[in-house]
Chain A
């Protein structure tokens, strides 16, 4: 287990504050946060490039902070891969092997080359490789030493969408076959959702929520996380028994044990809201009449904004949008279950 305890670090404009994380052996852990929140600095502290100003770092109760980078067993993959330009792919991968390459080491090397599908690249130099190819070489180079922790710094963000999707699947495959404890950093929520066993969300140098992808996705604990995971409909109100009364008086039914008169936020995912031209007969307790304000074509989905006293965003498919034949200003009904409303 890798433990970060009360880490603080100020580095130029970056400020890490009170970072506490426990990453279990074999876990695929993702740190999620917007660019410039100091996520990379965490990795660089774990790898030993910087010492924390305060706090401790343990790996299986061994004090990592006392070790030099070359004494820690970490594999590091940078966003732009940082392959050695003066060495070909083969030499890059073999770089971390300090002994003669034979026997078990040779087998491991060959199985990694096979796993990452880079056998055909071995004689080439990094500058002649595509982004995806460089990425696979960088991962092979990091894994060849059998690191205790694999650190991936935005490994997919500089790749095109197709390559990115393929590599995401490969990362899962690699992780399933090697079970290397992995700490992956990204600003892309979908990437985190797809890869992570657990996610930590960072904002302004602090970790503001840790949980499984499902927990982060459906029960964000702050407005920032709710926004980041695409909740879209976030409103402030007062909790009153099984209702939340929004600032403008609108009452929303929720499922929660009463915490009367508490100030809360509610969030409703846009895909959990039904739209209809007539009032639906449904068990859903939140039914509102509204007016269509505007429509945004987002490719597979349309995002419709409805005024029901507050502005509420709803996703509907291309097909439903065409069938319903909406015009701006049309009257429409908005329906959602009390259980679809997340209160925090």
Chain B
């Protein structure tokens, strides 16, 4: 009897796993296809409109610029944190992670207060760096929200590179900078590409922080997600869903590239607000 009972429990347990998987898969596919079914047929027509074209251009411009900035900052920081031990390293890592833990909309409020209400913000604005309700603000918001993610990816990429390879390069007559470009960077290529793609995709979908800092002004600070938000609010479902469809496509492609690059041990949560 005992044996029989164990057998039944095994079957129940296996079934639970299968049911949970099937349920989740169906749920995800159904939700996404709801958007695609309505978005795809109107996609071509929507792309013809000036508003969507503006949103596409602005999204690409801001996301590419902010990704570039993220790379410029994250490569040296990630390398330093991965390679060197120094006092306060834990604290620095924790501070760098903060924007990742915050909901983007809160980050946006923080940035808005910093650049909109302080003399520091005013000083920057007077000198051509106006972030509040501007395209520069979108870029800054994307940068602020995404930098912890790319740092995580690159830190783990650099950690995976055997420091003795760099050391051998030193003994072969190259200084640390030359070694970085001749050995470390080529070996970090996959991680860099993966980081780049995921950061770019996240920047393209960034909404909350950009909304707070740059606002949602039609044809001025209207990126694809802002366009989705504006058009859904005003009841223009066609344009809204076209924007959503494009974001879905871009996200799926970048997810594929990310998986293909063999970097899948990172947290790549896309927190939506």
Interface residues of chain A, those whose CB is within 8 Å of chain B, are 44, 47-49, 68-70, 72, 74-76, 78, 82, 84-86, 95-96, 98, 141-142, 145
Contacts and interface: CB of A to CB of B under 8 A. Distances in A.
Contacts of B14: none
A180 to B, nearest CB: 14
Given A70-B175, A82-B162, A141-B172, A49 B186 contact: no
Interface string B167-187: 111111111000000110011
Contacts of A84: 165, 168-169, 183, 187
A98 B172 CA distance: 9
7 contacts: A48-B171, A76-B168, A82-B165, A84-B183, A85-B187, A86-B186, A86-B187
Interface in B177-208: 182-183, 186-187, 189
Contact of B167 (A47, A72, A86, A141): A47
Contacts of A47: 167, 171
B183 A145 contact: no
A9 to B, nearest CB: 16
A69 B169 CA distance: 9
Contacts of B172: 70, 95-96, 141, 145
Given A76-B167, A82-B162, 9 more contacts: A49-B167, A70-B174, A72-B171, A78-B164, A78-B168, A84-B169, A85-B187, A95-B169, A96-B172
A319 B239 CA distance: 94
A115 B84 CA distance: 39
Contacts, number: 52
B180 to A, nearest CB: 13
Nearest to B172: A96
Interface string B2-13: 000000000000
Q: Is the interface of A mostly helix, strand, loop or mixed?
A: loop
Contacts of A75: 171
B173 A48 contact: no
Give the interface size class of chain B: 10 to 19
Contacts of B174: 70
B66 to A, nearest CB: 29
A139 to B, nearest CB: 12
B171 A70 contact: yes
Contact of A70 (B164, B173, B186): B173
B173 to A, nearest CB: 5
A75 B167 CA distance: 11
Contacts of B162: 82
Contacts of A96: 172-173
B171 A74 contact: yes
A141 B187 CA distance: 19
A85 B183 CA distance: 9
A145 B173 contact: yes
Interface in B141-182: 162, 164-165, 167-175, 182
B175 A68 contact: yes
A226 B187 CA distance: 46
A259 to B, nearest CB: 48
Nearest to B174: A70
Contacts of B168: 76, 78, 82, 84, 141
Contacts of B175: 68, 70
Nearest to A72: B171
Nearest to A96: B172
B168 to A, nearest CB: 5
A343 B242 CA distance: 92
Nearest to A49: B167
A343 B239 CA distance: 96
Contacts of A98: 173
A145 B170 CA distance: 12
A86 B169 CA distance: 13
A66 to B, nearest CB: 16
Contacts of A72: 171
Contacts of A49: 167, 170
A98 B175 CA distance: 12
Given A98-B173, A141-B172, A145-B173, A69 B187 contact: no
